[in-house]
């Protein structure tokens, strides 16, 4: 029975730390992506609710923690702009996540890392 070569404990600890950092970074990115998706969905629902309403109808919008009264005609363009911005940021975050995932996969291959799930 051939045994696997032993790894220096210090090197093993260093690799474990790097792996943990990769996983934590990916987890944080996934959390932010989830938050962005939820916010985008909220914007979409509000836009769908406001679009059929008369443009002069009053509505309320939270701006920097202050509730302000506006008309649908004032709020709708701002919501659409924010929604488009969220979509762009989300796309960029997804690219960054995929890039980091690819970097992790390359690192695991380079260092011959095999993850064992308990």
Residue range 57-68: mean pLDDT, rounded: 92
Residue range 22-43: mean pLDDT, rounded: 96
Q: Which is nearest to 22 in space by CA: 91, 75, 101?
A: 101
Q: Which domain holds residue 21?
A: 13-102
What pLDDT is recorded for position 7?
Answer: 66
Residue range 15-28: mean pLDDT, rounded: 93
Mean pLDDT of the chain: 90
Please report whether residue 78 resides in a domain.
yes
Extract the tokens encoding 18.
């790097």
Please report whether residue 84 resides in a domain.
yes
Q: How many domains does the chain have?
A: 1
What pLDDT is recorded for position 118?
Answer: 64
Of 7-21, 88-102, 104-118, which one has max mean pLDDT? 88-102
Q: Which CATH number do you get for residue 72?
A: 1.10.287.370
Please report whether residue 114 resides in a domain.
no
Contact 90, 33 (CB under 8 A): yes
Q: Is the pTM of this model over 0.75?
A: yes
Please report whether residue 115 resides in a domain.
no
């Amino acid at each position: 029975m051939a045994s696997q070569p032993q790894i220096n404990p210090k090197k093993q600890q260093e690799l474990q730390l790097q792996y943990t950092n990769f996983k934590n970074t990916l987890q944080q990115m996934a959390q932010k992506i989830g938050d962005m998706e939820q916010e985008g969905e909220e914007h979409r629902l509000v836009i769908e609710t406001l679009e059929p309403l008369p443009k002069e109808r009053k509505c309320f919008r939270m701006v920097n923690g202050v509730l302000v009264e506006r008309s649908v005609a004032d709020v709708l363009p701002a919501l659409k702009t924010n929604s488009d911005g969220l979509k762009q940021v989300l796309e960029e975050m997804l690219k960054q996540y995929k890039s980091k995932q690819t970097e992790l996969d390359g690192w695991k291959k380079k260092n011959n890392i095999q993850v064992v799930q308990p």
